[in-house]
Structure 1
């Protein structure tokens, strides 16, 4: 038990130390100046400064708010549409090709229209997050609904389960793993495009912080902002994983 705990934490820590060493070696070998590639110590000082001044928390709070609104809207809209297309062959045949045509388009490609429609500020970033999260959630929901075991549906029919009871007891539990797979995928893509969206017209947030630091040629601040983006993206994904595990336990699965 103790060995497993040590192994669980020492391996990631060792990987981080190795990455920092390789980073510093690249600077030594390439003889890069801090203006081109800041070293780990310089970036570490920038991270500490962001934390103690509290600047990172104001930008982070704004980014998390934008992310939460866009992402939750994508869930609210995407899951019901996924169930509709998964259950109705008529709607699936009519709408699925249109979604497949739009899905490969990068959300950033819509940014000129998004800025024209919503102006600058938080709304464009929220719209881009919604677009980025909507399709993974919707298509995985469709896959999950279509993948529900036919015998479960026969049992539901024999028990006269219809309407909300059918969805609550059969369809949603049966499709849940696919839905969560879509949500996990959507977290990664929408968090990436949140930063891109904030680089376009926002005056605050993590994406704006990168642009502002770049314009001031403070590359150590750019790398610090990138560090926080990766860190909180990781935390969000882990929180969703814990939520998934909790719900699966409620469904009686390990």
Structure 2
């Protein structure tokens, strides 16, 4: 963050709430001021949520509560809490009146599922009453009946576009992008029924969706997860390895070897021969 925030940041990292409060009482504009540093938190409240959620700030709840009570913006901060699986901080935001659809269409449900915090997503859905409102969230949670509502006569409805991911809207995204993103993300949660449904509606099993920051195919992802079951599921349905060496697939083998997945490497040598 910008230099003017540094003393407050240092106090937070040290767990010195008295100093944190004193500094902000002397410089109250910092509570609402935005940071221009593009590589860091955009404001003090998001800094506290993310760093506190990651365990870098002792007892972050009191720091967050102070900022909320003194006028800090809470816009999209539920999403920030979800990104780091910070249930305690998320509850503080909800108790302060932040709505479950904060950040819509990319809400805390999408964010928590995207980063693999399934327990938090289920807490939001089953305890707090959040709704599944996007194609990708429905795919990740594995709700095929909800997925069906995004299609009419086999085609994706317009309300599913544009697509989003943690860095915002993907400009120019189309139906194929949306289905491919949802397909890969469904497999990140091993939701095979949802993935099959999306394959039947045009998902490209070999795509590297633009709506996923890793830039990998579903097969790449399965290998990275060291998941032989998922590798088999994909290969049985036509997934291919894109790099060839004298007619033999090698990219998946190289990837397994790089990560030290000895059993998977040996299996791929047989399966991709």
Q: TM-score, normalization: structure 1?
A: 0.22
Instruction: Decide which structure has greater strand share.
Output: 2
Q: Which has the higher contact order (CA 8 A, sep 6+)?
A: 1
TM-score, structure 2 normalization: 0.21
Which structure dedicates a bigger proportion of its chain to helix? 1
